[in-house]
Amino acid sequence: MAKSTDSPTNCKKYGVPIYGTSWVPPNALRSAPNPTTADADDEPSVEPSPPLIAPQNYLVFAGGGGEGRSGIPNALLLSHFDSASNSLSDHPNWEVFMDWGDPFLYPAKLK
């Protein structure tokens, strides 16, 4: 019997080997700061800034690299999860490629 090359719709490939993932807490996604404008009365704006990313279900993936210099950069990826269809976004909503160590150490380095 031949192997099927079709992946299920809830399985995605993002171009790097993935070896760690976690749900992103909704309060971890920040809004963009409001630009300051010079008003005549200099009162601060009370309108909240719109979120950069709407509060939904997101997963962060760590991956890339490998033994030695494989040519695959280490990466952190952010992907939207749609619970209604039980699927991930086709492409990451955000990605960063870094060359300083393993992605599972990034949170400690970013503090």
Question: pLDDT in tens for each of the 111 residues of the chain?
Answer: 556 667 676 688 888 888 888 898 877 766 545 555 554 555 555 555 555 555 578 998 888 876 666 677 888 889 998 888 888 889 988 888 876 666 566 555 555
Query: Does residue 31 fall inside a structural domain?
Result: no
Query: Does residue 16 fall inside a structural domain?
Result: no
Please report the pLDDT score of residue 42 as a whole number. Answer: 55
Query: Does residue 71 fall inside a structural domain?
Result: yes
- Whole-angstrom Cα distance, residue 19 to residue 76? 11
Closest CA to 95 of 74, 71, 67, 68: 74
Please report the pLDDT score of residue 11 as a whole number. Answer: 81
Query: Does residue 22 fall inside a structural domain?
Result: no
Please report the pLDDT score of residue 110 as a whole number. Answer: 52
Query: Does residue 75 fall inside a structural domain?
Result: yes
The H or E element spanning position 106 is helix 106-110
Query: Does residue 18 fall inside a structural domain?
Result: no
Please report the pLDDT score of residue 84 as a whole number. Answer: 85
Which domain covers residue 107, as residue numbers?
Answer: 51-111
Query: Does residue 2 fall inside a structural domain?
Result: no
